[in-house]
Amino acid sequence: MKLTLLFNKGGSYHMFDTGNTGFMLLATSLVMLMTPGLAFFYGGLVGRKNVLAIMMQSYVSMGITTVLWFIVGYSMCFSGDMASGTDIGGIIGNLDMAFLSGVSPTTPSPLNPTIPLYVFIAYQMMFAIITPALITGAFANRVKFGAYLIFLTLWLLLVYFPFVHMIWGGGILAVWGVRDFAGGIVVHNIAGFAALASVLYIGRRRVADPGMHSIPLIALGTGLLWFGWYGFNAGSEFAVDSVTAAAFLNTDVAASFAAVTWLLISWWLEKKPKFVGLLTGAVAGLATITPAAGYVSLKASVFIGIAAGIVCYFAVALKNKLKWDDALDVWGVHGVGGLIGIVMLGIFGTVTINAAGSNGLLHGGTEFFKVQLLAILISSIYAFGFTYGMLWLINLFTPVRTTEKEEAEGLDAMLHGEDAYAMDGK
Q: What is the pLDDT of residue 13?
A: 52
Q: What is the C-alpha to C-alpha distance for residues 8 and 116, in angstroms, rounded to an integer? A: 13
Closest Cα to residue 175, out of 371, 364, 377, 381? Answer: 371
Q: Are 294 and 243 in contact (CB under 8 A)?
A: yes
| 17 phi and psi angles, rounded to 5 deg | -85, 120
SS3 130: helix
Q: What is the pLDDT of residue 4?
A: 54
- Determine the average pLDDT of the residues in 81-97: 96
Q: What is the C-alpha to C-alpha distance for residues 322 and 316, in angstroms, rounded to an integer? A: 10
- Determine the average pLDDT of the residues in 360-368: 96
Q: In this prediction, what percent of the chain has a pLDDT beyond 90?
A: 92
- Determine the average pLDDT of the residues in 176-197: 97
Tell me whether residue 256 is exposed, middle or buried, using C-beta atoms within 10 angstroms of its C-beta: 0 to 12, 13 to 18, 19 or more: middle
CB burial of 65-88 (b: ≥16 within 10 Å; e: otherwise) equals bbebbeebbbbbbbbbbbeeeebb
Q: What is the C-alpha to C-alpha distance for residues 343 and 338, in angstroms, rounded to an integer? A: 9
Q: Are 31 and 127 in contact (CB under 8 A)?
A: yes
Element (H, E) at 279: helix 275-289
Q: How far is CA 388 from the centre of its chain?
A: 19
- Determine the average pLDDT of the residues in 113-132: 97
Using CA atoms in the order 232, 233, 234, 239, what is the torsion angle rounded to 10 degrees?
A: 80
How many CA atoms, within 13 angstroms, populate the side-chain half-sphere of residue 160?
32
Q: Which residues contact 396 (CB under 8 A, 6 or more apart)?
A: none
User: Where are the chain's structural domains?
Assistant: 15-403
pLDDT, mean over the chain? 94
94: pLDDT strictly greater than 80: yes
223: pLDDT strictly greater than 50: yes
Q: What is the C-alpha to C-alpha distance for residues 230 and 247, in angstroms, rounded to an integer? A: 8
38: pLDDT strictly greater than 60: yes
Q: How far is CA 71 from the centre of its chain?
A: 21
Q: What is the C-alpha to C-alpha distance for residues 225 and 34, in angstroms, rounded to an integer? A: 5
- Determine the average pLDDT of the residues in 149-153: 97
Q: What is the C-alpha to C-alpha distance for residues 77 and 401, in angstroms, rounded to an integer? A: 31
In the chain, DSSP finds a helix count (H) and a strand count (E) of 17, 2
* Per-residue pLDDT tens digits for 292-345: 999 999 999 999 999 999 999 999 999 999 999 998 899 999 999 999 999 999
Element (H, E) at 269: helix 242-270
Q: Are 174 and 82 in contact (CB under 8 A)?
A: yes
* Per-residue pLDDT tens digits for 230-283: 999 999 999 999 999 999 999 999 999 999 999 999 999 999 999 999 999 999
End-to-end CA distance of the chain: 57
Strands 4-9 and 12-17: antiparallel
Q: In this prediction, what percent of the chain has a pLDDT beyond 70?
A: 96
The architecture in CATH of the region 15-403 reads Orthogonal Bundle (1.10)
Element (H, E) at 2: none
Q: What is the C-alpha to C-alpha distance for residues 17 and 15, in angstroms, rounded to an integer? A: 7
Q: What share of the chain is helix, strand, coil (3-state, %, to 5)?
A: 65, 5, 30
